[in-house]
Structure 1
Amino acid sequence: MEKKKIHPSVEAFKTFVKGNPKIIQEVRSGKATWQELYEDWYLLGEEDARWDNFRDSKTSTDQPTDADNSNKTMSMSSVMDSLKNMDQNQLQGYIANLSQALGTIQGVISQLAPGSAASTNATKNSGQKQPTGPFSFRKD
């Protein structure tokens, strides 16, 4: 399968983000989205005051190294490439089968759980009174 070519501005933004790892933390914390940051970068440029908070004035020792970041980026990109190369219909079938299996397991658990609606309905429908203790002795 042929790889899609990425627009040069997107490549430049990726390079900018790699140079400023605090941007990644901003997205992961949920304070901003990639789309918002890309639009700001595209419209305002790299030298705008908006990016001053994300620039590293000095390197901190508790932040991951560039090698760690590149490994994480490579693993995420390999996962995304794998997902892109999968047959969507086959993936949908797997998800449907998994959903059915989980539904079946849920049904079995609900029947076995004490006090659940399914187990009380089964007791009511059986018509026989269940013994209250562990032994089924009868009085004469």
Structure 2
Amino acid sequence: MVKRKRPSVDKFKEFVRTHPGLTNQVKVGKYSWQQLFEEWYLLGGSHEKWIPYIEEKKDQKVEETKSTDTGDMVSTLVNTFKNMDVAQIQQYISNANQALGAIQGILTSFQGDKSVKEEPKKIETRQNPFVFKKD
């Protein structure tokens, strides 16, 4: 049997996402998730106790905009590649190949008269007089 979460748990998770300072408090050991959940459930999300954690979030946003971390760029690229559909990309490449082939055909049709006049000289190839065959 699959246990279903209560809606309050999902709301608490969303609350924690908007207040990342709470995660730091749990990591430090000041609170446990159970304690935070119980306080959030009793006090509500708009209680003044949560104000310092909202400010931490604002400070983190300012720091994120100031710094361009290569780790963030790499993770963004990885996520972009994960979301790509290989079949769709292959279709785009195929269409581009067909378009280039059509353009190449048009260009050769315009240059067709020129190529007939300037045929390269063919070099006569002789057979090698020293052909060794196995007996």
**Relative CO higher for 1 or 2, CA cutoff 8 Å, sep ≥ 6?**
2
Per the shorter chain, which TM-score range? 0.3 to 0.5
Structure (1 or 2) with the larger CA radius of gyration:
2
Superposition TM-score, scaled by structure 2 size: 0.42
Structure that is richer in helix per residue: 2
